[in-house]
Amino acid sequence: MIKGLPKEIILFISLVFAQVFIFNNIQFSGLINPNVYVLFILLLPFSTPGWLLLLSSFFLGISVDIFSQTLGMHAFACVFMAALRPITLKILSTREGYIPNTSPRIADYGFIWFFRYAFVLIFFHHLALFYVDVFSFHGFFRTLLRVILSVTFTVIIVLIEQYLFERK
């Protein structure tokens, strides 16, 4: 965990800046809002303690909140996603289990496993984020459409990132 700390810090900073300066400016009809900063939570090593997972997720979300002026919505969604991560990993566990000292990546666990893992967590993150944003069930189906389209777009970007930057 300590050995990979500089890499995790660089990933944290680069994803926050990419989100704030690039992806927050991408909006298609107000329905598609990619949130690729969640990749940080997805790629944390399996051995990350729960308290550190929640704390780093909070700081990730609050960092995006500060730059986006969104008053804790991203922090809430990130902590919610981080709380669901161990449950999701347990449900999606491979027969052999997880390789010690690794992170969830396509190169190690394959496309299908990573797609399921990323899709479930990104879906719940976006669900929490967008429903806290509207804070109402008025326009429920429009918000649900926004969640589905944004999840699809975000998952595609995350998968592209895995193939471009991750090597086995």
**Total-model pTM:** 0.92
Structure confidence by residue, pLDDT tens digits, 14-24:
999 999 999 98
Residue 137's pLDDT is 78
115 CB-contact burial (10 Å; exposed 0-12 / middle 13-18 / buried 19+): middle
Question: pLDDT for 107-155, tens place per residue?
Answer: 888 999 999 999 999 999 999 999 999 988 788 999 999 999 999 999 9
